A and B are shown apart, each in its own frame.
Chain A
Amino acid sequence: MSDFTDLTLASARAGLAARKFSAVELTKAHIAAIEGARDLNAFITETPDKALEMAQVSDARLARGEGGVLEGLPIAIKDLFCTKDVLTTAASHILDGFKPPYESTITQKLWDAGATCLGKLNLDEFAMGSSNMTSYYGPVINPWTRAGDNRQLVPGGSSGGSAASVAARLALAATGTDTGGSIRQPAGFCGIVGLKPTYGRCSRWGVVAFASSLDQAGPMTRTVEDAAIMLGVMAGHDPKDSTSAPLAVPDFAAALTGDIRGLRVGIPKEYRVDGMPAEIEALWQQGIDWLKAAGATPVEISLPMTKHALPTYYIIAPAEASANLSRYDGVRFGLRVPGGSLDEMYENTRAAGFGAEVKRRVLIGAYVLSAGYYDAYYLKAQRLRTLIARDFDQAFEKCDVILTPTAPSAAFALGEKMDDPLAMYLNDVFTVPVNLAGLPGISVPAGLSADGLPLGLQVIGRAFDEETMIRAAGVLETAANFTAKPGRA
């Protein structure tokens, strides 16, 4: 029943509280939707039995007048989060058959809050990609198509399954992770809300590591309010992650006052990049006008290091990835390809287990960290990172949030940009600097392209000031009144 799958976390929660329907009914509607949309390839593992079991427990709790913040609400999990006894693949062949004996901190918090688990979502292999084309389990199909053109489009990446499933009404919400834009870019491509919190806001424990100084998990939802509600459950200090900040978790949803009078909105002049479509430029201006009409003051700011962010990222992220991925050795879990010696077994396993993009990044990482090249590449990139973060520090002396487009294009067709890794990397030109500086960012669906595809705007906040960012995003959402739905919802 599509009425159920069209709900938000907030409205479904209200419906459950008012006993208008049960958690089991809500979950069954989503299981049916998932079964009807398998061609999108959004899920790697469906867990309908587990979902129904959890929903039954939720109904019992709700009947007793108990229940957590997300009690009875069906969500899905990017398959980068370890889930106890449930296959966890990172969309890689090398994790074949891996069933973690533990649960990631974030998913545990979601289950403790009462959410029900619909399954594990497809992604780019080890979250390395911007199109979901690098998954060992095949590409995810964007539920949107261009008007009058039925070619299949990518959902963006790396949280492509998360974005597609939420946009196609297969889950009320999903978790994502964002190392260089992997929550915000697919949210933009699929017309949903994606929030990357400040580095340290959420625990990384039990999330398969890509680049540890950049990785951060966050919610992917259909409204800003839902993102705020879900972030409130995901966030918080975790003794098991020494980089998680020992800070109290604010009531993020309470930040949605709608009042942004006097807010200073930074508009970075360096984000007017060559070749950006006029319609994205126009949408950005529209966003500025919307915030201005609500009482905010646009301020031009300068982030002079912007053009150096992508190359900096493509040194730091592969370097950290090459270290993190050294654990996949065919000994403790996943795939093993035999060899005559221990080294040969490692080499055969990793050659067969990693896809082309992952190999490329591990090799680049090994090179930039190797003796003789470390200073020229890795240390240089770390110094650039200081300058990029300093840009933002200086900008935030003049403004309270920053408004930019989420990505320089709308969703592209399956197979496009595949022959040139550098063209693919450009997708993240507006999102990568935010990760390098450790700041929070949110993508809000703000309009449609001329051929009917969603376009997102990004609001960037100060470190640990998600609340102001969420407040501005809420005003954008109200002004944009984005009600379009994909053909496949």
Chain B
Amino acid sequence: MSLDKATVARIATLARIKVPEADLEALGQELNKILHWVEQLDQVDTTGVEPMTSVAAMTLPLRPDWVTDGDRVDDILKNAPNAMHGFFTVPKVVE
């Protein structure tokens, strides 16, 4: 599979990274090189092999769904680039 300019632009949108139109071509070539290299895995027959999602041979533990932390609004907002009235602020999303 090969990435064309339109696909690179679509992935960049999915990843929310602005890529100038002029850079799409070169970036696509870079990504293609990596993708072609990983496609060597197609040589391996993996029919019937279970995909591994975790190396830890354990079931994730459950815990009661209780609140264990909270009341830390100031701590949490302290690092926000922009906060007002106890909230994060973002550009207007509703007209």
Contact = CB atoms under 8 A, between A and B. Distances in A.
> Do A and B assemble together?
yes
Interface in B39-72: 39-42, 44, 46, 49-56, 58, 60-61, 63, 72
A340 B91 CA distance: 7
Interface residues of B: mostly helix, strand, loop or mixed?
Answer: loop
Size bracket, chain A contacts: 35 or more
A70 interface: no
Contacts of A47: none
A153 B7 CA distance: 38
Contact of B46 (A329, A380, A437): A380
A364 B1 CA distance: 13
B33 A200 contact: no
B55 A422 contact: no
B44 A245 contact: no
A359 B18 CA distance: 10
Size bracket, chain B contacts: 35 or more
Contact of A341 (B35, B54, B80, B91): B91
B41 A346 contact: no
Contact of A308 (B14, B35, B40): B40
Interface string B15-30: 1111100000001001
Contact of A243 (B7, B31, B54, B93): B54
Interface in A338-383: 338-348, 350-351, 354, 359-360, 362-367, 370, 373, 376-377, 379-383
A345 B14 contact: no
A111 interface: no
A101 B1 contact: no
Given A350-B18, A360-B34, A308 B41 contact: yes
B36 to A, nearest CB: 10
Contact of A364 (B34, B46, B82, B90): B34
Given A101-B72, A367-B31, A383-B46, A346 B51 contact: no
A347 B17 contact: yes
Given A311-B38, A343-B16, A99 B30 contact: no
A312 interface: yes
Of listed A97, A376, A380, residue having the most chain B CB within 10 A: A380
Interface stretch (A23-31, A289-297, A384-392, A477-485): A384-392
B8 to A, nearest CB: 8
Contact of B90 (A242, A305, A342, A351): A342
A234 interface: no
A354 B61 CA distance: 35
B30 A421 contact: yes
A421 B33 CA distance: 9
A308 B44 contact: yes
Interface in A180-215: 199-200, 213
A384 B44 CA distance: 8
Interface residues of A: mostly helix, strand, loop or mixed?
Answer: helix
B86 interface: no
B71 to A, nearest CB: 13
Given A386-B50, A422-B34, A339 B91 contact: yes
Given A199-B56, A311-B40, A437-B55, A359 B17 contact: yes
Contacts of B37: 311, 314, 422
A333 interface: yes
A354 B81 contact: no
Contacts of B14: 366, 370
B12 interface: yes
B81 A336 contact: yes
A331 B81 CA distance: 7
Contacts of A99: 78-79
Contacts of A463: 55
Contacts of B53: 213, 382
B11 A363 contact: yes
A195 to B, nearest CB: 18
Contacts of A329: 16
Nearest to A388: B52
Contacts of B6: none
B41 A348 contact: no
A332 B88 contact: yes
Nearest to B49: A383
Contacts of A364: 31, 34-35
A346 B17 CA distance: 7
A489 to B, nearest CB: 37
B81 A335 contact: yes
Given A332-B79, A366-B14, A384-B41, 12 more contacts: A98-B79, A315-B41, A330-B81, A333-B80, A341-B93, A350-B15, A360-B31, A363-B11, A363-B27, A384-B46, A387-B44, A387-B46
Per CB-CB distance, the 8 closest pairs between chain A and chain B, nearest first, are A438-B55, A382-B51, A336-B81, A333-B79, A383-B46, A101-B75, A347-B18, A351-B18
26 contacts: A99-B78, A99-B79, A100-B79, A101-B72, A101-B75, A101-B78, A199-B56, A242-B61, A243-B54, A245-B58, A311-B41, A312-B41, A322-B15, A334-B81, A336-B81, A341-B91, A360-B30, A362-B17, A363-B11, A367-B3, A367-B31, A382-B51, A421-B30, A421-B33, A422-B37, A438-B56
